[in-house]
């Protein structure tokens, strides 16, 4: 087990939902002698008071022992990106809808916090997609999407892998997804679910205007290049659901698979397949 001394805390945008669990976490941390750090946004959001083992308005420190993320997958993804490449584990407590990346659900907040403060968890290393070009450089833990802007014509996207042209598709957009992100936007596109631990990434299309556009699983060492072949229409680029740039007509963007970027805390013994059944199976309506 890890020894936990200093932790960072992030929460989602609805503080009233997370305040009770956050109060519990602060009390448990004090009892365990663990210092909790809150950045200026979190300090203001929750009106964090001065006190022992609490640091207010704290800058991001890549040397902390753990990061608590109280929220949904968006909050957890934000934490994973903030600590990308640092080996700081992110312990997610689900206060969202799906919470596929969460370590525990909200009704387990007390027990989960105790477990995390005691260092009683396993760590899963997650890959990422690095996207660059056209004035954009960003890291995605789940996915990169390139999609047409509202009210504009369909996108005209040409893509190549490893320097070889693969195809050109008129569509609403294209999604580049990691295994962790394959259960998100990619799944909605009809793309495959990729088990965590698979090295590689998947390219799927949003409403392709073609009968030949097919999802493609790409080898980890191969780079993907996407060209906007529209004569005048720009397309938007988003990372994990957040806008990061625009690909103008004639512009090009590249994506590559990068290993060991995120560190996700898991309850010992948890498997991807158990998580898949737990999160998606319970949404099914019994016959």
pTM of the model: 0.92
Measured between its terminal Cα atoms, the distance across the chain in Å is: 44
d(CA 191, CA 213): 12
Q: What is the pLDDT of residue 287?
A: 46
The pLDDT tens digits for 201-260 are 999 999 999 888 899 999 999 999 999 999 999 999 999 999 999 999 999 999 999 999
CA–CA–CA angle 272, 11, 115 (5° rounding): 55
Whether 142 contacts 84, CB under 8 Å: no
What is the maximum alpha-carbon separation in the chain?
63
What CA–CA distances, in Å, run from 188 to 37, 145, 178?
A: 37, 13, 14
Q: Please list, in sequence order, all residues whose beta carbon lies within 8 angstroms of the beta carbon of residue 50, skipping any fewer than 6 positions away.
A: 56
Q: Where are the alpha helices (DSSP H) in 62-142?
A: 73-82, 109-117
d(CA 187, CA 189): 5
Whether 213 contacts 114, CB under 8 Å: no
Whether 53 contacts 33, CB under 8 Å: yes
Strand positions, DSSP E, 162-249:
164-171, 173-177, 201-206, 216-218, 224-228, 235-239, 242-247
Active site residues: 73
Give percent of the chain with pLDDT exceeding 70.
98
Q: What is the pLDDT of residue 59?
A: 96
- Closest among 254, 125, 97 to 196, alpha carbons compared: 125
Positions of the chain with pLDDT under 70? 282-287
Whether 108 contacts 70, CB under 8 Å: no
Mean pLDDT of the chain: 93
d(CA 255, CA 159): 11
C-alpha atoms less than 13 angstroms from C-alpha of 86 in its C-beta half-sphere = 17
Alpha-carbon torsion angle 29, 35, 41, 44, nearest 10: 70
Task: List domains and CATH numbers for the chain.
Answer: 6-121+267-281 (3.40.50.10330), 127-260 (2.60.200.30)
The pLDDT tens digits for 183-204 are 999 999 999 999 998 999 999 9
Q: What is the pLDDT of residue 145?
A: 96
Q: What is the pLDDT of residue 282?
A: 57
d(CA 287, CA 184): 25
Q: What is the pLDDT of residue 272?
A: 85
């Amino acid at each position: 087990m890890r020894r936990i001394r200093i932790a960072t805390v992030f929460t989602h945008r609805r503080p009233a939902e997370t305040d009770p669990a956050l109060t519990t976490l602060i009390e448990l941390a004090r009892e365990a002698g663990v210092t909790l750090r809150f950045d200026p946004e979190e300090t203001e959001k929750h009106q964090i008071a001065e006190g022992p083992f609490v640091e207010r308005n704290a800058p991001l420190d890549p040397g902390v022992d753990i990061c608590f993320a109280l929220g949904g997958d968006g909050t957890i993804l934000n934490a994973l990106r903030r600590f990308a490449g640092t080996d700081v584990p992110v312990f997610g407590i689900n206060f969202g809808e799906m919470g596929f990346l969460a370590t525990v659900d909200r009704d387990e907040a007390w027990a989960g916090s105790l477990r995390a403060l005691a260092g009683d968890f396993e760590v899963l290393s997650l890959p990422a997609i690095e996207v660059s070009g056209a004035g954009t450089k960003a890291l995605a833990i789940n996915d990169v999407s390139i999609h047409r802007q509202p009210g504009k014509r369909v996108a005209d996207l040409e893509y190549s892998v490893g320097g070889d042209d693969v195809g050109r598709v008129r569509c609403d957009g294209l999604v580049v997804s990691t295994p962790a992100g394959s259960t998100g936007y990619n799944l909605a596109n009809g793309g495959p679910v990729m088990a965590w631990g698979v090295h590689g990434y998947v390219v799927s299309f949003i409403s392709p205007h073609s009968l030949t556009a097919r999802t493609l699983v790409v080898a980890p060492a191969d780079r993907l290049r996407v060209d906007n072949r529209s004569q005048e229409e720009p397309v938007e680029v988003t990372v994990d659901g957040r806008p990061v740039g625009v690909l103008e007509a004639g512009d090009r963007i590249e994506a590559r698979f990068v290993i060991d970027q995120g560190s996700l805390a898991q309850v010992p013994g948890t498997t991807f397949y158990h998580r898949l059944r737990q999160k998606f199976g319970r949404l099914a309506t019994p016959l």
